[in-house]
Amino acid sequence: MDKAPPEIKFKKAVVPLGGVHCASCVARLEKGLGSLPGMARVSVNLSSKTAFLSYDPSLLDAKNISARIVKLGYKALGFSESAAAAEKTAREGLAREEKIFFARFLLGFFLSAFLLLDYAVGFSSYTMMAAAALAWGVAGWNFHSGFLRALKARTADMNSLVSLSSSVTFFYGVYVTLNPPSDYTHYHAQWHEVAILITFINFGRWMEARSKGKAGEAVANLFRIAPKFARRLAGGREETVPVADIVPGDLVVLRPGEQVPVDGEVRSGVSAVDESLLTGEAVPADKGAGSKVYAGTVNKTGSLEFEAVGVGDDTVLMKIVKAVEESQAEKGSVQHLVDRISAWFVPAVFLAAVVSAGLWLHYSGPVMAVNIFTAVLVVACPCAMGLAVPMAVAAGFGRAAEAGILIRDPDVLERVSGLDVVIFDKTGTLTEGRLRISSLSPHETGEREFLGLLAAAEERSEHPFAQAVRERAAAEGIKAGGITSFEAFPGKGVKAVADKGEVISGSLKWFGELGIEIPEAPRLEIAASPYSMLLLALDGRFKGYACLADALRPEAADIVRELGAMGIESVLVSGDREAAVAEVAGAVGIKTFHAEVFPDEKRQLVMRYKALGRKTAMVGDGFNDAPALSEADMGMAMHSGTDVAAQASDITLMRSDLRSVITAIRIAKAIKKIINQNLAWAFVYNAALIPMAAGALYPVWGLVIPPYFAGGAMALSSVSVAMNSLRLRRFKFRAM
């Protein structure tokens, strides 16, 4: 028999980049890196100038990838599997770029001012040429070097447009200065045009770099939260070491007022820890032996000694940051469309400039042709189009992360418009999920034996019901018997083989499907009770039931009312019995509810609403919610739930507060609105100004755009998109 091919274990890497300025750069990098053998995924984030890679380490390594980046005309500023290290390098690169563009802007500004003095002073042509050469060659060097790299890679980008336009104007000026026309006595070859053009574009690049830095501040702040040092206990002595030196298994001492340096499990001590960073809960969480502690949270009162479990990128805090960065780099359908347009934009603009200049050379002469060629190349702005989506996503996703909302799929922004139904799971979503057993009703067995069998059945289950059983058993000193096999049936219950036989624990509906007979008296009691139920059977014989109580989230009713005010219908769905579901629905004001629904039936319910033309969101927390979360137009998973639910959702709500549902919907709509505004501005700007720069209005109204005006308009276009996106940093999370 043929052996199955070995499973490929892809490695992930984050690469900060230098020299990336527009959508054409992004397209070139993604295409060039994506063609490498063994490269599984490439996503370049223009806003943070970072590439997120997934590759086969048996075919590729950092050296191969970095070499390809250089060959494409860019710089690999680092190569790391650590999100923290890559983020630090990327931000240093942005800060360095901001300083360089500001210095070149200042140089261009002073040279432009000097050249304009010619109108009052009257400099010689060679003095003017020397000043313009400094502006063109020094202040504009970043554009020329970018053009040379693009030329080497046989492609074109925004640097190509700026370099070509300024170079044509400059060298034409050199030509007419060395060979002055006989009919011009004081012709300065428009030297000030060259300097002002370079100055305006450097100003735009400087403002753009500042905006990119601000857009990434939310993620950078999360990195800064992580503590830098820890108290490690070794050989009975405390030593202060960098957090990077802590490894799993190390014992760490935590004193009052200190930040938790790494994720861990408490070995000794009692304290209260402020976990609002991760959970949003204002009340500190009590910690004792066996409790989990998380990096970045703050110890309030007592001292703790804990064992390091998750360090570096394996801490919950770093996983959140990494998830935000990766989601910012993911591209939705709109971004893919913009990328395809941008790939053809630069060649199309160059063709338009050549054709326009040729026509004006024929009808007017070289001076007008040079001005038209320069203006068309400069006024076209692929930067504005390229920044329209990633800048809004970076600012919006970062702002959402500050509120504990991780938007995992950018395409959800396309689906949030017109949302009119939100389907809520019950347990752990509308209720707190902190179930407790309110009563035990054993049948033909003792209470302790009943609880022991129930504990054995639920020992390996992740369901909130199971946690309630384990807590009750532990409180009464009952240990679960040995289990030889276990099987979970999502939405139904569990089966386990214990010392005394096959134990089945689950819902009334499932017991009916299995043909387990329930005596009339317990059946009537179960039907009349408003509580959630957990039935138990041993070797196919009914052994009783447990009643479980759960408290409603205090904000649940307000959330339903708020959604109603937004024109969104709330629906409740649960695998629980109808009486229990009806009581919760009535308490929070939900009119439509569905009880005793299995996981696939939840998915079918979502599909039914979608088939009716309703835009549907699903909010859940459990394994049994995953199919519905995946099917919904907008799936939102409570972080308190399972990893499976979080992976299936579009949005993860990190805080155990239903108000996050409203906030997630509002900020997703706000990001979508900003993206639409950015794209509209970028396309209208190019559609209006390119024909004007080409001289289309000159024969009728005598209007034509001078090159320096084109440079200013180009800078304004990029800056306006960036500044509009930064409005999301001020998005208000309304209290209810």
Phi, psi (degrees; rounded to nearest 5) at 614: -95, 135
How many Å is the maximal CA-CA distance in the chain?
Answer: 118
Residue reference for tokens 């109580």: 549
Q: Which two tokens stand for residue 39?
A: 């490269």
Rounded to whole angstroms, the Cα distance separating 600 from 332 reads 28
* 8-state DSSP, 730: G
Residue from 200, 594, 542 nearest 425 by CA: 594
Rounded to whole angstroms, the Cα distance separating 168 from 349 reads 16
Rounded to whole angstroms, the Cα distance separating 17 from 261 reads 30
Instruction: Please provide the DSSP assignment of 298-333 as one string.
Output: EE-SS-EEEEEEE-GGGSHHHHHHHHHHHHHHS--H
β partners of residue 544: 442, 536
Q: Which residues contact 429 (CB under 8 A, 6 or more apart)?
A: 619, 620, 621, 638, 658
Query: Is 425 labeled as catalytic in the residue annotation?
Result: yes
Residue from 324, 433, 468 nearest 657 by CA: 433
The total of other beta-carbon atoms located within 10 Å of residue 515's CB is 7
Of the candidates 118, 250, 339, 425, the residue annotated as catalytic is 425
β partners of residue 162: none
Q: Which residues contact 125 (CB under 8 A, 6 or more apart)?
A: 177, 180, 187, 188, 189
Q: Which residues contact 24 (CB under 8 A, 6 or more apart)?
A: 155, 156, 157, 158, 342, 343, 345, 346, 382, 386
* 8-state DSSP, 13: E
Phi, psi (degrees; rounded to nearest 5) at 16: -65, 140
**Helix and strand counts by DSSP (H, E) for the chain:** 27, 26
Q: Which residues contact 153 (CB under 8 A, 6 or more apart)?
A: 28, 32, 71, 72, 73
Rounded to whole angstroms, the Cα distance separating 552 from 534 reads 19
Do you know the residue count of the chain?
736
**What are the residue numbers of the active site?**
425
